Amino acid sequence: MNKKHPWIWLGALVCASAVFSSHAAAPKKRGGVDTSSLPEPAGRPVKYFGDVHPLLAEHCISCHGADKQKGGLRLDSREAALKGGSSYGPAIIPGNSAESPFIQFIAHLEPDMEMPPDEEMLTEDQIAVLRAWIDQGAKWPAKAGVAAEGGESTLGNQELFFKKAATHWAFQPVPVLAAAQLADGPARIDALVAAKLGEKNLARSPRADARTLMRRIHFDLTGLPPAPEEVERFSADFAKDADAAVSALVDGLLASPHFGERWGRYWLDLARYADTQDFRAQQDLRYPFAWTYRDYVVAAFNADKPYDRFLQEQIAADQLGLEKDDPTLAALGFMTVGPRFRGRVDEIINDRIDVVTRGLMGMTVACARCHDHKYDPIPTADFYAMYGVFASTQDAEELPEIALKQAEPTPEQRADYEAKKGAAKQALEAFVQDLKDKAVADVLAKPELYFDALCQMEIRKTADVRKLITGNKMMETALTPISRQWSELRRREDWQASSVLGPLARVASASADRKAGIIEGILENGRVPGSRAEVQPALLAALRAAKPKDEEALVKAYGKVLAEAVKKPKGPLGEVLAAFKDKGGWLDFPLDSVEGAYRLLGKGRADLNKLHSAVSEVEATHPGAPPRAMAVADRAKPVTQAIFVRGDPQRRGDTVERRFLEVLDPSKKPYPADRSGRRELAEQITARDNPLTGRVWANHVWRHLLGEPLVKTVGDFGLQAEPPSHPELLDWLAAALVDRGWSTKKLIRDVMLSATYQQSSADRPEAAAVDADNTLLWRANRRRMDFEAMRDAMLATSGQLQLTLGGRAESLSAEPFSGRRTLYGYVDRVNLDPLFTTFDFPSPDIASPERSETLVPQQALFALNDGFIVSQARALAKNARQAAGTSDSGMVDWLYRHVFYRQPTGEESALAQAFLKETAGISGASARGSWLYGYGSADPAVPRAGAFKRLPYFDPATKRYQGGRVYPHPELSHVSLSAAGGHPGRNLASAAIRRWVAPYDGEVSIGGEFALNRQGGDGVRARIISSRQGLLGEWTVGEQPAKTLVEKHSVKRGEILDFTVDCVGHPSRDAYRWAPTIQLLIRAEDAPTDVQTVWDAQADFKAPPPPKLQPLEQMAHALLMTNEFLFVD
Is the pLDDT score of 650 beyond 50? yes
The residue-averaged pLDDT of 1031-1053 equals 94
Q: At what angle do helices 411-445 and 574-581 cross, to 10 degrees?
A: 140
C-alpha distances in Å from residue 405, one per residue of 168, 328, 408: 48, 13, 5
- Give buried/exposed letters for 160-180 (b at 16+ CB in 10 A, else e): bbbebbeebbbbeebeebeee
Of 715, 710, 764, residue with least CA distance to 204: 764
The residue-averaged pLDDT of 405-410 equals 85
Is the pLDDT score of 12 beyond 70? no
Is the pLDDT score of 207 beyond 50? yes
Under DSSP, the state recorded for 406 is G
Q: What is the pLDDT of residue 284?
A: 78
Q: What is the pLDDT of residue 666?
A: 97
Q: Please give the angle made by the CA atoms of 43, 48 and 54, to the nearest 5 degrees.
A: 100
Q: What is the pLDDT of residue 18?
A: 39
Neighbouring C-alpha atoms within 13 Å toward the C-beta of 318: 23
Beta-ladder partners of 1073: 981, 1011
CA distance 76 to 64: 7
* Domain ranges for the chain: 48-151, 205-255, 429-604, 787-838+855-926+1116-1129, 931-1100
pLDDT in tens, 27-39: 333 445 777 778 8
Q: What is the pLDDT of residue 120?
A: 74
Is the pLDDT score of 26 beyond 60? no
Q: Please give the angle made by the CA atoms of 469, 472 and 474, to the nearest 5 degrees.
A: 50
- Lowest-confidence range among 14-18, 146-150, 517-521, 574-578? 14-18
Q: What is the pLDDT of residue 50?
A: 66
C-alpha distances in Å from residue 467, one per residue of 440, 590, 848: 20, 24, 47
Is the pLDDT score of 459 beyond 80? yes
pLDDT in tens, 219-268: 999 999 999 999 999 999 999 999 999 999 999 999 999 999 999 999 99
Q: What is the pLDDT of residue 925?
A: 46
pLDDT in tens, 593-621: 999 999 888 788 888 888 988 888 888 88
pLDDT in tens, 720-743: 999 999 999 999 999 999 999 999
Which CATH code is given to the segment(s) 931-1100? 2.60.120
Of 952, 949, 948, residue with least CA distance to 963: 952
Of 661, 659, 656, residue with least CA distance to 692: 661
Sorting pLDDT into bands at 50, 70 and 90, what band is 22? very low
Q: What is the pLDDT of residue 142?
A: 54
CA distance 855 to 17: 9
Number of neighbours of residue 83 by Cβ within 10 angstroms? 14
Mind giving me the DSSP string for 70-113?
A: GGG---SSHHHHHH--SSSS-S--TT-STT-HHHHHHTT-STT-
Is the pLDDT score of 941 beyond 80? yes
Is the pLDDT score of 849 beyond 80? yes
Quote the mean pLDDT of the chain.
89
Distance spanning both ends of the chain, measured CA to CA: 34
The residue-averaged pLDDT of 1046-1060 equals 95
Sorting pLDDT into bands at 50, 70 and 90, what band is 4? very low
pLDDT in tens, 78-102: 888 888 887 678 889 998 888 888 9
Q: What is the pLDDT of residue 1118?
A: 94
Q: What is the pLDDT of residue 943?
A: 94
Of 1024, 1021, 1060, 1023, residue with least CA distance to 1038: 1021
Q: What is the pLDDT of residue 190?
A: 98
Q: What is the pLDDT of residue 145?
A: 47
Is the pLDDT score of 651 beyond 70? yes
- Lowest-confidence range among 440-454, 687-701, 861-875, 937-951? 861-875
Measured in whole angstroms, how far is the alpha carbon of residue 338 from the centre of its chain? 9
Burial of 803 (0-12, 13-18, 19+ CB in 10 A): middle
Is the pLDDT score of 423 beyond 90? yes
Q: What is the pLDDT of residue 420?
A: 93
pLDDT in tens, 166-200: 999 999 999 999 888 888 999 999 999 999 999 99
pLDDT greater at residue 103 or residue 153: 103
Sorting pLDDT into bands at 50, 70 and 90, what band is 11? very low
Is the pLDDT score of 929 beyond 70? no
Sorting pLDDT into bands at 50, 70 and 90, what band is 1103? confident
C-alpha distances in Å from residue 470, one per residue of 445, 603, 661: 18, 16, 53
Question: Which CB contacts under 8 angstroms, 24+ apart, belong to 174-180?
Answer: 174/688, 174/691, 174/694, 174/695, 174/731, 174/734, 174/735, 174/738, 175/731, 175/732, 175/735, 176/735, 176/739, 177/732, 177/735, 177/736, 177/739
Under DSSP, the state recorded for 47 is -
Measured in whole angstroms, how far is the alpha carbon of residue 402 from the centre of its chain? 26
